Structure 1
Amino acid sequence: MSRGSAHPALIALGAVGAVGAACAVWGIGIERYLFTVREATAAALPAGSAPLRVLHISDAHMAPWQRRKQDWLASLADLEPDLIVNTGDNLGHRDGLDGIRRAFEPFAGIPGVFVHGSNDVHGPTPRNPLRYFAGPSKRHVKPDHLDTAGLDAFLGEELGWADLNNSAARVRVGERDVDFFGVDDAHRDWDDLDALPGAVAGLGARNAATPLLGVTHAPYQRVLNAFTDLGAQAIFGGHTHGGQVCLPFYGTIVANCDIPLKQAKGLSTWTHGERGIPLNVSAGCGHSIYAPVRFACRPEATLLTLTARDTPA
């Protein structure tokens, strides 16, 4: 080898380093700001129902300085959805409610429902990002308590959205009723599935034309199965961030719960027993302030149009 030639191993190492640096620049500096609206359609409503346009928002993990994300979320009101489903983890900082107010105030007057993720209660903590790939994350030892009461007052009292944490609600959407039930964050074992049958029964007599929809933050299989058994005609979930850092042409590497990876983001069919129902898992529009990256997994909201089924569920 001549004195001026480089060793092949050094060339390869340099190439790998360059690719890694480029990926980091893309994921940290570009893709996490490429907010997108994913549109999908699912046959889920009782036969003869008019379509229902649902804006599904999840995992904002809001910090007060994240103005681009706030502006984008606020702009979604221009889509004029019939209904908003918020699957939690709205807060990402002790002052995150300021950003959520700015982002969601344009939704005033649009019916909605919400459940909590753990980051609506406890703030994020610094951690090694590689631990995310080792399996579902564990509980915080000394959590930073967030303004959950203020968040609930804003979403529930000011925006008028129904709180579905281990509860059920009947929501008036235009000229029709839509029934919902939901659970608190299953990733923290805050879900109370046993409370749901009574909560749904407490809504009173149900018209056959009234949809019944399930809402959860973390789409664990036990939750999805229980929702299916309870008669949900579609399910909404979040939590996974769609993997947040994915492999191009492969997809999600880790879901941070036990849902199959192929169903960790987007619209799919959840099958349990003899029933198969639409499941929409949002990849979310945010990230922890301690893991500011998205790769091959753009931040998103979903505009899901629910249409009538041809046959009974």
Structure 2
Amino acid sequence: MPYSLWAGILAAALVGSAAFYFYCQNHCLQVSRPVLDLGLDAPLRVLHLSDLHSASFGRGGRALYQMAVQLEPQLICVTGDWIDAKDSAWRRTADALIQLTAVAPVVFVPGNHEHRSGRWPQIRPYLERGGVQVLCGDLLTLHTAVGPVSLLGLDERRGVTYGQYLSRRGDPAPDPYSQLFAALAQRPGPRLLLTHYPEQFCQKGGGGHSRHSFSLQLSGHAHGGQIRFPFPQGLIAPGQGLFPRYTAGLFTCRGQRLPSGSRPHGPALLVSRGLGNSFFPLRVQNRPEVILLTLR
């Protein structure tokens, strides 16, 4: 066989392999199964989803729905940017979230994209009519098969404009939520904080949400740092800039990595890598993530 033909076959194979790799990196769901020891009498399974950005996983989100059915969560928490700011057909994306209410109770907090869209006043009641429980500075206690779980959802509205979305660096913000955190501390069961922005968890000088009393903060927004090779924590994240810290996984209230199965001393943080893309349209070593968290 002529050398030129071999070279052409090899080049085609390399191009095909690269195309398949990048397709999977951006379209093939990956399930993460972290465990957090909170000393509960029975385990609680929480499905954590974030940052869909109006991406499609199966027609009408069917693949995502079927995965949720298989994972059998007792609670579904969604931490914002489900609907992309540029999605004019947002009801279709909202319906993909609403259908998850047939699997387990769904609790939602908005991200910067829901607000940037200018359609949040229409999106919120649409989700609520579909059975999604939207928390914007609200407390909620749900009674599950394994006992109560209490949630606080914050709508921090940080980085609403595109310029702010790119430039914010987790700068300290006033804490208008002290009374809400004090009320959450009195609620029964594990106490979960839902907010889109992980950089608000722990800040220099002892600031951030971690100074309050709760069990776990669930967040997204960082998209896993977009490119995770050769950068273990990712290359860039909105609100954190280059080489960000909070992009995926569990963290302690001091900003350190928390191994799965550990019992935290103080509040912990769980960051989702998210499901879709936004201003940076590519993922590397950073597949779309579905988190099945077990609290035990």
- Same fold judged by TM-score > 0.5? yes
* Aligned alpha-carbon RMSD (Å): 3.5
Bigger radius of gyration among the two: 1
Post-superposition shift, 1:187? 3.5
Match of 1:283 in 2: 273
The answer on 1:157 being equivalent to 2:140 is no
Q: How does 1:115-264 map to 2 (within 5 A)?
A: 115-123=109-117, 145-146=118-119, 148-161=120-133, 163-174=134-145, 176-185=147-156, 187-188=158-159, 194-201=175-182, 206-207=187-188, 210-221=189-200, 225-248=207-230, 250-258=232-240, 261-264=244-247
Q: Distance in 1 between matches of 2:213 and 2:50?
A: 23
SS at match of 1:271: coil
Instruction: Give the TM-score taking structure 1 as reference length.
Output: 0.70
Q: Distance in 1 between matches of 2:277 and 2:209?
A: 27
Match of 1:271 in 2: 254
Q: Distance in 2 between matches of 1:40 and 1:188?
A: 29
Give yes or no for contact 2:72–2:103 (8 Å, CA) kept in 1: no
Q: Could you list the per-position Cα deviations for residues 154-198 of structure 1 after superposition, in whole angstroms to 9, with x for gaps in the alignment?
A: 43332242x332332222223532111232245327998644232
Give yes or no for contact 1:59–1:285 (8 Å, CA) kept in 2: yes
CA 203–267 in structure 1, closer or farther in 2 if over 3 Å, else same: closer
Give yes or no for contact 1:248–1:296 (8 Å, CA) kept in 2: no
Q: Could you list the per-position Cα deviations for residues 256-288 of structure 1 after superposition, in whole angstroms to 9, with x for gaps in the alignment?
A: 22397343112232327x954332100001112
Letter in 2 for 1:235: Q
Give yes or no for contact 1:245–1:296 (8 Å, CA) kept in 2: yes
Query: Which residues of structure 2 form unaligned runs of 5+?
Result: 1-11, 162-171, 256-263
Q: Could you list the per-position Cα deviations for residues 224-255 of structure 1 after superposition, in whole angstroms to 9, with x for gaps in the alignment?
A: 75432221111111000101222147441112
* Aligned partner (choices 282, 287, 290) of residue 298 of structure 1: 287
Match of 2:23 in 1: 29
* Aligned partner (choices 51, 55, 58) of residue 43 of structure 2: 51
Instruction: Give the TM-score taking structure 2 as reference length.
Output: 0.74
Letter in 1 for 2:288: P
Q: Could you list the per-position Cα deviations for residues 111-154 of structure 1 after superposition, in whole angstroms to 9, with x for gaps in the alignment?
A: 2322111111224xxxxxxxxxxxxxxxxxxxxx23x2343224
Q: Number of residue pairs matched? A: 261
Query: Which residues of structure 1 form unaligned runs of 5+?
Result: 1-17, 124-144, 308-313
The answer on 1:70 being equivalent to 2:61 is yes
Q: Could you list the per-position Cα deviations for residues 30-80 of structure 1 after superposition, in whole angstroms to 9, with x for gaps in the alignment?
A: 32111111111011x3x34321100000000015x6646812221113311
Post-superposition shift, 1:104? 3.9
Q: How does 1:75-114 map to 2 (within 5 A)?
A: 75=66, 76-92=68-84, 93-108=87-102, 110-114=104-108
Give yes or no for contact 1:35–1:72 (8 Å, CA) kept in 2: no
CA 151–193 in structure 1, closer or farther in 2 if over 3 Å, else same: farther
